[in-house]
Structure 1
Amino acid sequence: MTSTVRPFDAVLTDLDGVIRLFDHSELNRLERAAGLPAGHTMRTAFHPDLRGPLLLGQLGKAEWQARIAERLAAESVTTPEPTTAPESATTPEPATPAELAAAFTSAPFRADPTVVSLLRAVREHVPVVVVTNATAWLDADLAAMEQLTGVADAVVNSAEVGAVKPEERIYRIAAERAQVAPERCLFVDDTAGNVAAARALGMTGVDYREPADLRNALAHLLN
């Protein structure tokens, strides 16, 4: 006889890296032109001095962008001297710290349609709650992604609740929003430390790498 007992009663899912995907191709181009390693601007943007205030809602977007630029400038972000080229050749001016910061903070993003489809389907069976370390302007970002309308029952944003993954409190808040005990939650995240913290509370954890990971975790309810 096939069991009809659910393996979990709610899905708690990360946003960035799972549902929302950023396009940093323009930033990558600017970094290459500046002779910077890929991801340099992002690492600067999430330096502990900036990351904490940002994810607790203490930095607005303009201030964050300005502080990224200041930090990049302090690191002496410059382009190596160009190699000798014909006099007729022109070399574009390297991006300034302010331009790098703007390219990062204004990078376009989209929702992964496969993940959205899976979450819509599972929401017909159990509550879905987004649990994200995000910014004070997250609501505006979500509103810009019309595909996400009706995907989740609630959004738990670190900038609003004052707790950041992997702190225990944000997981408990998410479980409360789902009206489910922590041990009856499935937790999906692309950061191993966040998943480990969820498992420590008794949640079923999914180390997310691709939509197939989510599909497999939801198979019991969707098949």
Structure 2
Amino acid sequence: MNLTDIALTRYSTKAFDPSRKIAPEAFDQIQSLLRYSPSSVNSQPWHFIIAHTDEGKQRLAKGTQGAFKANEAKVLNASHVVLFCAKTEIDDDYLDHLLATEEADGRFPDDSVKEMTKGVRAHFVNLHRVDLGDAPQWMEKQVYLNMGSLLLGAAALGVDAVPLEGIDTAVLNEEFELPQKGFTAVAAIALGYRAVDDFNAKLPKSRLPENEILTHL
């Protein structure tokens, strides 16, 4: 596997072939990327709604009306669509839940490591909860880390994808009752295989030159 080749060949798919579906074994790997994505202090402040049935995609397409109508066909014609949701609060009960999960998974060889992990996580979480007051934005940043991981991983599997910020998050919050569950919709990624008439597949990739964006020390 050559990461440069993958980065050069992946692109934002503008039209999906609705007749082509992602094989279950391939999507199992994509789901693993969602679960095992990195996040600051292993906070994992996310939930994912995955639509792969026509009914499910119709529900997600409710967030692509009006000003977002251009993204409706992407949602409906994709094989799978993932709605990325972020927690709206990160409270002490949730931090205890994380710690208990890590302990059950064997992360702590002894109590001192457990207490150190608890203290370090609390320090950084409180930096955003209390000092900076930007915990919701901080948690959304973790969701974007997950999205980036998914886009690269999908490309490595030969699956086409497009990130969709052009969705009505208020509509989707209502559709899936996300605020009542402690979450908010952030963005979506549609996954599948490109249509033969997808104009963007034929265009050369354009990025700023290395000497403009890279500084080596």
Structure number with the higher helix fraction is 2
Q: TM-score, normalised by structure 1?
A: 0.27
Q: Which has the larger radius of gyration?
A: 1
Q: TM-score, normalised by structure 2?
A: 0.28
Task: Select the structure with the greater relative contact order (CA < 8 A; seq sep ≥ 6).
Answer: 2
